[in-house]
Amino acid sequence: MQTTEYFTKKLNQKEYQHIQKRWLESTYISPEFRLKQSDGRFGLYSKITEMNNQYLKLTLLKDGKTVKDACFDKRFNPRAQLRRQMMRGCK
């Protein structure tokens, strides 16, 4: 898993120490959702059961490989995302 220097430094900060490496790696390898953002970056999402079923979001650079950031996205709605994907398929 490639990371930016920014991300590596961020993981060492106290407010990011609750994010476990195994969660990052599993989200990177097999995300439940992979979304292209309007800025060309990608968002990878996976539900983390140990964190009260919150979704962990990894933000990748435009290359689609390098992790720039990670956070728990409380606004992510998987049902709405599935609906959007289904609607795109109907066109």
Q: Widest CA span of the chain, in angstroms?
A: 46
Per-residue pLDDT at 88 exceeds 70: no
Of the two residues 28 and 12, the one the predictor is more confident about is 28
Of the two residues 90 and 25, the one the predictor is more confident about is 25
The pLDDT of residue 19 is 94
Q: What number is the average pLDDT over the span 1-24?
A: 92
Question: Rounded to two decimals, what is the model's pTM?
Answer: 0.85
Return the domain boundaries, the chain.
2-90
Cα–Cα distance list, 1 to 28, 32, 39, 84, 85 (Å): 7, 17, 21, 29, 27
Cα separation, 3 vs 9, in Å, equals 10
Per-residue pLDDT at 90 exceeds 60: no
Q: What number is the average pLDDT over the span 2-9?
A: 94
Cα separation, 32 vs 46, in Å, equals 5
Q: Count CA atoms closer than 13 A to 62's CA, side-chain side.
A: 3
40-68 pLDDT tens trace: 999 999 999 999 999 999 999 999 999 99
Cα–Cα distance list, 88 to 3, 7, 81, 84, 91 (Å): 31, 33, 11, 6, 6
